[in-house]
Amino acid sequence: MNSKAVLIGNSDGIGLAVTKELLKTGWTVIGLSRSPSPVNHPSYEHIVADVREDAYGTRLKSILENSESIDVCVYCAGIGELLDPTDMAKEVDIFNVNLIGMVKTASLFLPMALRYGKGHLIGLSSVADELLSPEAPSYHASKAGFSNYLEGLALALRAKDVYVTNMRFGFVDTKMAKGDVKPFMMSVDRAVQHILLCMKKKPVRYTAPRFINPLISFRRRMMRLGILMNDLKQ
């Protein structure tokens, strides 16, 4: 039996690259995203569905109920914008896509995986989950909730042979990479290889590039020190 994957948010960027790589290696793939897919392959099915809309849950549920067991589900959907305090309408969208859409996906995929006794949910998060940001607070906060929730699920389900991985990237060369400074930029192809490794090893948390961890920890301490110094001045 061929391995089968469901990818959410895979019409471009990392999701599209993962789709193409899985198809090359014999997987059957079903994709859901708000845009049509450029992929044309006999083992690929694409459904246009926006994770912010009620129809997304209905369509994903139908896929899961009408498919044989899904080996892996990868949540790639994500958006981010710089904060505009005069117009914060986009802030809600960012939480709906980056966090609530993933929770919807987990709430439908994981019970199905438990029924079959196998399955692996991978969510693409960010090292931004550990940092405060005055420039993009919604993105950072949504990723903090994303990572915390996925890792809690991973611990809850690991003993049942159902796996959850919080995949934390630094800057990857996609349209999501914003900001004037983008240290240690990773290619999309390299990001795909990290995801394939996660599919094999099924860790609770995976950070790439790994050497960015101490830098993030240092920046977090500096930010907290800045907050403390500001409080002491008041």
> What pLDDT tens digit does each residue of the chain (234 aa) get?
589 999 999 999 999 999 999 999 999 999 999 999 999 999 999 999 999 999 999 999 999 999 878 999 999 999 999 999 999 999 999 999 999 999 999 999 999 999 999 999 999 999 889 887 888 999 999 999 999 999 999 999 988 989 999 999 987 776 554 455 455 678 999 999 999 999 999 999 999 976 566 566 655 565 555 556 566 666
pLDDT at 219: 59
Distance CA(197)–CA(186), nearest Å, equals 16
pLDDT at 10: 97
Count of structural domains, the chain: 1
Distance CA(124)–CA(137), nearest Å, equals 18
Distance CA(117)–CA(161), nearest Å, equals 6
Residue 31, domain extent: 4-233
CATH assignment at residue 211: 3.40.50.720
pLDDT at 105: 98
Rg, C-alpha atoms of the chain: 18
DSSP state of 53: S
Distance CA(10)–CA(35), nearest Å, equals 9
Q: What predicted TM-score, i.e. pTM, was given to this entire model?
A: 0.86
